[in-house]
Amino acid sequence: MRHIISLLMANEAGALSRVSGLFSARGYNIESLTVAPTEDATLSRMTIVTRGSDEVIEQINKQLNKLVDVVSVMDLSDGDHIERELMLVKVHAEGADREELKRMSDIFRGNVIDVSDKTYTIELTGAGSKLDSFLQAIDRKLILETVRTGASGIGRGLRILKI
């Protein structure tokens, strides 16, 4: 099962490597990992997307909690949550393709954020699956470059991860 785990950790040098080291040392899978400071500058928030059986996910949660730098952990997949990822796609946009790519970007509520006579750079946000669909919907040959941030997640309503 795919799980999306959020955690708050002390914004200390090396904290990120403790988390990534834990995943590689114990053979856990990481699909994506994002991290950035929060409004409280002493804390970073990380979102990890992983896969595993219930037992493995339980261990991942416990092992993360055990890291001394980790303040709190929430498995967002345990309840209602929202997940967003940002993707930038640079496409070859000339001739008829130029119009078509703009149209597709609009359908997916993307923004063209950089334009040259040969290219567009499209910005898209959404759940990972939406970004995948966009890439499938456009002509593969036109894709010059993609960059994705990995998922960030947050609980719905009063599901709050804070200390």
Partner 1 sequence: MELTGAEITIRCLQEEGVEYVFGYPGGAVLFIYDELFKQEAVKHVLVRHEQAAVHAADGYARSTEKVGVALVTSGPGVTNAVTGIATAYMDSIPMVVISGQVPTSFIGEDAFQEVDAVGITRPCVKHNFLVKDVKDLASTLKKAFYLAKSGRPGPVLVDIPKDVSNHKTAFEYPSTVNIRSYHPQVTGDANLIKQAAQMLLEAKRPMVYAGGGVILSDAAKQLTELVRLIDAPCTNTLMGLGGYPASDKQSVGMLGMHGTYEANMGMQNCDVLFAVGARFDDRVIGNVAHFNSVPRKIIHLDIDPASISKRVKVDVPLVGDVANVLTDLIKVLKSSKQKPEARKDWWKQIDEWRSANSLSYKNSIELIKPQFVIETLHKITHGDAFITSDVGQHQMWAAQYYKFDKPRRWINSGGLGTMGFGLPAAMGVQLAHPGETVACVTGEGSIQMNIQELSTCKQFNLPIKVIALNNRYLGMVRQWQEFFHGNRYSQSYMDALPDFVKLAEAYGHVGILVEKPSDVEGALKEAFARKDELVFLDFRTDSTENVYPMVPGGKGLSEVILAEDL
Q: Based on CB atoms, which residue is closest to partner 1, 10 or 115?
A: 10
Q: Based on CB atoms, which residue is closest to partner 1, 71 or 76?
A: 71
Look at the block and give the residue holding tokens 């909690």. 65
71 three-state secondary structure: strand
User: According to the binding rule CB under 8 A, does residue 79 interact with partner 1?
Assistant: no
Applying CB under 8 A, which part among 55-63, 92-100, 112-120, 152-160 lies near partner 1? 55-63
Number of C-beta neighbours around residue 110 at 10 A: 22
Q: Based on CB atoms, which residue is closest to partner 1, 160 or 163?
A: 163
- Distance between CA atoms of residues 45 and 162, nearest Å: 10
Let me know: does 91 contact 146? Beta carbons within 8 Å.
Answer: no
- Distance between CA atoms of residues 53 and 49, nearest Å: 14
User: According to the binding rule CB under 8 A, does residue 71 interact with partner 1?
Assistant: yes
Q: One symbol per residue from 4 to 43: x for binding partner 1 (CB under 8 A), - otherwise; what is it? A: -----xx--xx--xx--x---x------------------
